[in-house]
């Protein structure tokens, strides 16, 4: 069940710049928050301190000028300092002027001298100023001492401030890393509603109930109903979980807080728990509200899984989340919606009723859902007259909403690349192949021998798939390189399938090895091209034995643990859950399945060698064959005989009683069953292909009477109760 969103256009009104408009005045708050401003401020203060006038009003003169003043008896007082400076106070009425040095009418002068002149200056002062001279020992200033002692501390504080600003996304978040980083959806947020969601009707129905409760809680409280405190959306990537949450936000009309699971965890211990508390405090203060946590598996994993134990930052965050969810009141009207594509690794305490009461599976859509998703994403794209989106939906089983959106986007890109105006069927076909296998490598040069070998390899896959009795039709065979493959054979189901039978799996094993068998039979020298086929076949055969219970020697027993992640605190001390003897039997059974599939593929190719050669010639000529061309070549193919009915044990005998027939099937099969001498209807053999085909036709007609003719897939035809539906009635 997939989702698609309609393309929407957001119009924004331009703001004129003016005396009252944004940008007219400087944003001083932003300037003050910038770390560069404070760095420049510290540098400016330091420069001002060092450039402060410390001469004390003394004019600077040369040493000779100072000696002349002393010799002329103009000095009233002389002071020698420890840094080789002589300060002279002139007598009352005496001044000194030196226009070249820029000194005019100075009553106090200062000169600096070297150690060699110290003795002569002291002698001169003693002679001319005997009664008024002194010595001064200069120490460090108080301001300088303060700066020397406090500057390293200021530097460390500034560095820490800067690091916190960068770690929290700007100076405005300094010392606020414990606050929630959730985004609040506003009226300016592009709105998505349930009308924009396609292919997930059940999920939309469940979430629509959430919207109704938030808008009218009294309706539910009147009958004693409690709305789920938490809703978990889980499913494969690309199925539309986040889109569903956005649709709830657009429909709810209440505050909608969205946050990623990774935003709770920070480099500091305890930050995650603090952010959880702050988030729920905000939500409760603005109740009714919705809190959406995307990728909740980032904080919701199994506890005790790591080496840190309960002191792990992630586990503390999860514990706080559990406490906050338990603290909800019935009338609080705060609902938590979470999304994940890995529900298997979530902590059991998080999934229990009372926390996530409702768990909604968002899966890949069926054919009708894919058709609706394609219609949604096709809006705004020019389509050619002959384009059938329903046919595209039939050819894309297993595609998610994101895959389908990518198909149409690739088709649009290819159309624009080729300077076309409309998206046609050929472009859509190429887009599907690009999404499945990657872009085509048109420039790759292959030798004639390797090209022929590739044709036989892909032909082997196709002919074995066509000759088996439980396989889907071959829709395309090509020898053009695409992605990492030199060629590929596409086997697509006609309808959506949700389970696979044992015979279908055995057929898959056979045609997976068809390419390798063709190489062995024709060239007597297999290549490395079948490595991926062998890998897939081996994995499927092993699952048949260890997971699906399709081996009579092993039985219906699940062997081994699922291939999930290993939790050090939980799984490392566990032993393998089966013995070496059972492991040997498993290997033997896997080998037996592979060998049987190998033999079946060999018989098919050996019996239909002429058809295979004809297919190879067509491939070498056209390089790509569609479903109709392949069916024409395989019209005289020799099918493999039906397999004997498999019994899980020789002690459990075969039942000859066929499945019960519905009234529609029984009516449609009138005249198709065997009748005994006494008039009783005799059961047909379970393996009768004619009977099986008739039942399939009858079931299809009874369930979908409109499917007998080409009609809109979404059309509903009402049938009066108690009346039989004729296949061609409508």
Q: Which of 11, 98, 89 is nearest to 57 (CA)?
A: 89
Locus of tokens 């037996």: 592
The full DSSP string for 458-486 is HHHHHHHHHHSSS-PPEEEEE-S-BTTBS
Q: Are 582 and 559 in contact (CB under 8 A)?
A: yes
Kindly state the greatest CA–CA separation across the chain.
159
* Residues 163 and 106: beta-carbon distance below 8 Å: no
What is the four-CA torsion angle of 293, 217, 247, 357, rounded to 10 degrees?
A: 40
Residue of 67, 458, 519, 589 marked active site? 458
What torsion, rounded to 10 degrees, do the Cα atoms 316, 322, 328, 330 define? 180
Assigned token pair, 283: 């939500």
What does the alpha-carbon distance between residue 607 and residue 610 come to, in Å, rounded to a whole number? 8
| Distances 242 to 186, 238, 245, 279 between C-alpha atoms, Å | 17, 9, 5, 19
Question: Are the C-beta atoms of residues 87 and 142 closer than 8 Å to each other?
Answer: no
Count of other CB atoms within 10 angstroms of residue 12: 6
Cα 482 to Cα 361, 443, 515, distances in angstroms: 34, 11, 17
Give the total residue count for the chain.
730
Find, among 438, 442, 435, 426, the residue nearest to 402 by Cα: 435
Is 700 a catalytic site residue?
no
Two structure tokens written together for 192: 């998505």
Q: Which residues contact 141 (CB under 8 A, 6 or more apart)?
A: none
- Pairwise CA distance, residues 241 & 339, whole Å: 6
Neighbours of 171 (CB within 10 A): 18
Which region, left, alpha or beta, applies to residue 128 given φ > 0 means left and ψ of -120 to 50 means alpha? alpha
HEC string for 38-83: HHHHHHHHHHHHHHCCCCCCCEECCHHHHHHHHHCCCEEEEEEECC
Is residue 384 classed exposed, middle or buried when 0-12, 13-18 and 19+ CB atoms within 10 A define those classes?
middle
Short-list 661, 510, 660, 511, CA closest to 594: 510
Is 327:547 a contact under the CB 8 Å cutoff?
no
274 CA to centre of own chain? 26
User: Which two tokens mark 563?
Assistant: 């291939």
Cβ-based neighbour number of residue 386 at 10 Å: 8
Q: Which two three-digit tokens encode residue 656?
A: 């000859």
Q: Cα separation of 472 and 459, whole Å?
A: 16
Runs of H (alpha helix) within 222-299 = 241-252, 271-285
Both tokens of residue 608?
A: 């239909």
As annotated, the active-site residues are 458
């Amino acid at each position: 069940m997939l989702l698609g969103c309609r393309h929407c256009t957001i119009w924004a009104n331009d703001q004129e710049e003016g005396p009252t408009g944004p940008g007219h005045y400087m944003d001083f708050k932003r300037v003050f928050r910038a770390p560069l401003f404070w760095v420049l401020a510290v540098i400016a203060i330091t420069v001002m301190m060092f450039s402060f006038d410390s001469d004390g009003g003394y004019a600077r003169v040369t040493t000779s000028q100072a000696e002349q003043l002393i010799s002329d008896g103009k000095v009233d007082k002389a002071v020698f300092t420890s840094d080789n400076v002589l300060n002279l106070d002139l007598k009352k009425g005496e001044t000194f002027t030196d226009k070249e040095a820029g000194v005019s009418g100075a009553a106090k002068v200062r000169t600096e001298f070297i150690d060699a002149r110290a003795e002569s200056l002291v002698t001169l002062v003693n002679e001319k100023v005997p009664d008024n001279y002194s010595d001064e020992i200069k120490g460090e200033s108080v301001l300088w001492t303060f700066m020397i002692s406090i500057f390293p501390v200021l530097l460390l504080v500034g560095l820490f401030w800067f690091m916190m600003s960068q770690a929290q996304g700007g100076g405005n978040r300094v010392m606020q890393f414990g606050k929630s980083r959730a985004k609040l959806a506003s009226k300016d947020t592009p709105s998505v509603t349930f009308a924009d969601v396609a292919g997930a009707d059940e999920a939309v129905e469940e979430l629509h109930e959430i919207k109704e409760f938030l808008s009218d809680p009294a309706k539910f409280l009147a009958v004693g109903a409690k709305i789920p405190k938490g809703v978990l959306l889980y499913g494969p990537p690309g199925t539309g979980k986040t889109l569903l949450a956005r649709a709830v936000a657009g429909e709810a009309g209440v505050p909608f807080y969205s946050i990623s699971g990774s935003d709770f965890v920070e480099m500091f211990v305890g930050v995650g728990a603090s952010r959880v508390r702050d988030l729920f405090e905000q939500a409760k203060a603005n109740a009714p509200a919705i809190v959406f946590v995307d990728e909740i598996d980032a904080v919701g994993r199994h506890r005790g899984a790591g080496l840190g134990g309960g002191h792990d930052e992630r586990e503390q965050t999860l514990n706080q989340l559990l406490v906050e969810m338990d603290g909800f009141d019935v009338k609080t009207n705060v609902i938590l919606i979470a999304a994940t594509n890995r529900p298997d690794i979530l902590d059991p305490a998080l999934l229990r009723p009372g926390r996530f009461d409702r768990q909604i599976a968002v899966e890949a859509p069926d054919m009708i859902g894919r058709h609706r998703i394609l219609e949604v994403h096709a809006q705004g794209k020019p389509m050619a007259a002959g384009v059938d989106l329903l046919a595209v939906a039939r050819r894309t089983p297993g595609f998610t909403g994101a895959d389908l959106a990518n198909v149409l986007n690739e088709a649009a890109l290819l159309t624009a690349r080729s300077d076309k105006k409309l998206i046609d069927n050929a472009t859509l076909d190429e887009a599907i192949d690009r999404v499945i296998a990657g872009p085509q490598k048109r420039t790759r040069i292959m030798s004639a021998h390797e090209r022929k070998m590739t044709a036989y390899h892909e032909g082997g896959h196709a002919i074995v798939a066509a000759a088996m009795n439980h396989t889907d039709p071959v829709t395309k065979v090509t020898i053009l390189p695409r992605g990492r493959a030199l060629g590929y054979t596409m086997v697509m189901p006609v309808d959506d399938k949700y389970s696979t039978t044992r015979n279908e799996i055995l057929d898959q094993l056979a045609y997976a090895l068809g390419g390798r068998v063709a190489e062995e039979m024709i060239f007597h020298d297999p290549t490395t091209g079948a490595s991926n086929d062998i890998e897939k076949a081996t994995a499927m055969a092993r699952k048949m034995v260890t997971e699906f219970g399709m081996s009579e020697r092993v039985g219906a027993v699940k062997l081994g643990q699922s291939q999930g992640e290993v939790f050090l605190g939980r799984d490392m001390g566990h032993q393998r859950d089966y013995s070496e003897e059972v492991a040997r039997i498993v290997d033997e059974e896997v080998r037996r399945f592979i060998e049987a599939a190998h033999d079946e593929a060999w018989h098919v190719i050996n019996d239909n060698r002429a058809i295979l050669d004809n297919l190879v010639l067509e491939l070498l000529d056209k390089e790509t064959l569609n479903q109709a061309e392949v069916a024409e070549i395989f019209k005289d193919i020799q099918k493999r005989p039906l397999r004997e009915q498999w019994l899980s044990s020789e002690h459990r005998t075969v039942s000859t009683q066929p499945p019960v027939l519905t009234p529609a099937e029984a009516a449609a099969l009138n005249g198709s069953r065997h009748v005994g001498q006494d008039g009783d209807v005799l059961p047909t053999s379970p393996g009768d292909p004619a009977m099986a085909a008739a039942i399939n036709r009858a079931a299809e007609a009874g369930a979908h009477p409109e499917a007998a003719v080409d009609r809109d897939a979404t059309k509903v035809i009402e049938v009066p109760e108690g009346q039989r539906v004729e296949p061609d009635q409508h």
